[in-house]
Structure 1
Amino acid sequence: MGAAFFYHLTQRPLEATLPMLLEKARGAGWRVAVRGTDEGRLDWLDERLWQGADDSFLPHGRAGGPHDALQPVLLTSGAAGNDPQCLMMVDGAEVSPEEVGALERVCVLFDGGDPQAVDRARDQWKALTGAGCAAQYWSEASGRWEKKAESG
């Protein structure tokens, strides 16, 4: 059974944090799906991932292409078509306890400067831990990532 890791972004924006987490997941040998709520925002993230650091290359694709199943990282607003072991949720995207249980890891990234995003993440934490999912809450408020809470 997997676990949900909540990442409270306060120092670095999503476009800086997401590539770091994707690299770690890929380093573990996992296929990853990034689930968002808005196609325009996913297009924006797609561009940012292609414009990564000069010394890095993060292969990925947008859902709806002919090779979704082959993508090591797939950006989608729906079901993951690449059989991922890790699912990264952005912009308040939905995740179910069943998905958490079926995957190695689910990451929920949320903007600490957006009160609605923080409330949404709290609701997701309550729903997932209430359903028996293991969860960890990570904060970068000190300038580095620290685990602040754990459940299950």
Structure 2
Amino acid sequence: MTPVFFYQLQTQPLEVVLPKLLATSLERGWRVVVQAGSDERAEALADQLWSQDKEGFLPHGTKADGFPDLQPVWITATDENPNNANVRFYVDGAAVGDVAGLTRAVIMFDGNDTDALDAARAEWKRFRANGHEVSFWQQDDQGRWQNRAAG
């Protein structure tokens, strides 16, 4: 069963956290799909990644760029896997689909948004009831991710 990681964004926004997690994924040799809540948000995240790090570059693409099979990180608003990713990030309330066959599924949510918290709790219960290993990650005061719960 695919492990499902829940990341509660509370002290830093997605735009700060996501690039670091994507870089770590690529360092591990994983291919990634990031599924956003809308096409506009997917393009905004892709644009932000182009200018995120002046010293480095996070290779990625969207449907506007094409060539998904060549993209180690694919950013989309739909339930697709055109780059044969083995890790999937769900952000901005994106609908979480079937995670079977993935190395890891990551659900990132705004810890300051009551609706996002409620949705994450419902997903936690669903995945746990279906036999997935689930874990809850929260940042400490220094910005390091701490595993706060597992089930």
TM-score range, shorter chain: over 0.9
Partner of 2:148: 148
Residue by residue over 1:17-66, the C-alpha shift from the partner in whole angstroms, topping out at 9 and shown as x without a partner, is 00010011101101100001211111111111111121120010013543
Partner of 1:43: 43
Q: d(CA) in 2 for partners of 1:66 and 1:52?
A: 21
Across the aligned residues of Structure 1 and Structure 2, the Cα RMSD in angstroms comes to 1.4
Q: CA deviation at 1:108?
A: 0.7
Q: d(CA) in 1 for partners of 2:141 and 2:128?
A: 25
TM-score w.r.t. length of structure 2:
0.92
Partner of 2:106: 107
Amino acid at match of 1:94: A
Q: CA deviation at 1:140?
A: 1.0
Q: Percent identity?
A: 36
Q: CA deviation at 1:129?
A: 0.9
Q: d(CA) in 1 for partners of 2:51 and 2:63?
A: 19
Q: d(CA) in 1 for partners of 2:127 and 2:63?
A: 26
Between 12-21 and 137-146, report the one with greater CA deviation: 137-146
Q: d(CA) in 1 for partners of 2:101 and 2:38?
A: 25
Structure 1: runs of 5 or more not aligned: none
Amino acid at match of 1:134: E
Amino acid at match of 1:139: Q
Q: d(CA) in 1 for partners of 2:125 and 2:64?
A: 32
Residue by residue over 1:82-138, the C-alpha shift from the partner in whole angstroms, topping out at 9 and shown as x without a partner, is 110100000111223x41x31101111111111111111111111111111111100
Q: How does 1:3-152 map to 2 (within 5 A)?
A: 3-63=3-63, 65-78=65-78, 79-96=80-97, 98-99=98-99, 101-143=100-142, 144-151=144-151
Do the aligned residues in 2 keep the contact of 1:10 with 1:141 (CA within 8 Å)? Answer: no
Amino acid at match of 1:82: N
Structure 2: runs of 5 or more not aligned: none
Q: d(CA) in 2 for partners of 1:50 and 1:66?
A: 16
Give every structure 1 segment of 4 or more consecutive aligned residues whose post-TM-superposition deviation is greater than 2 Å: 63-66, 141-144
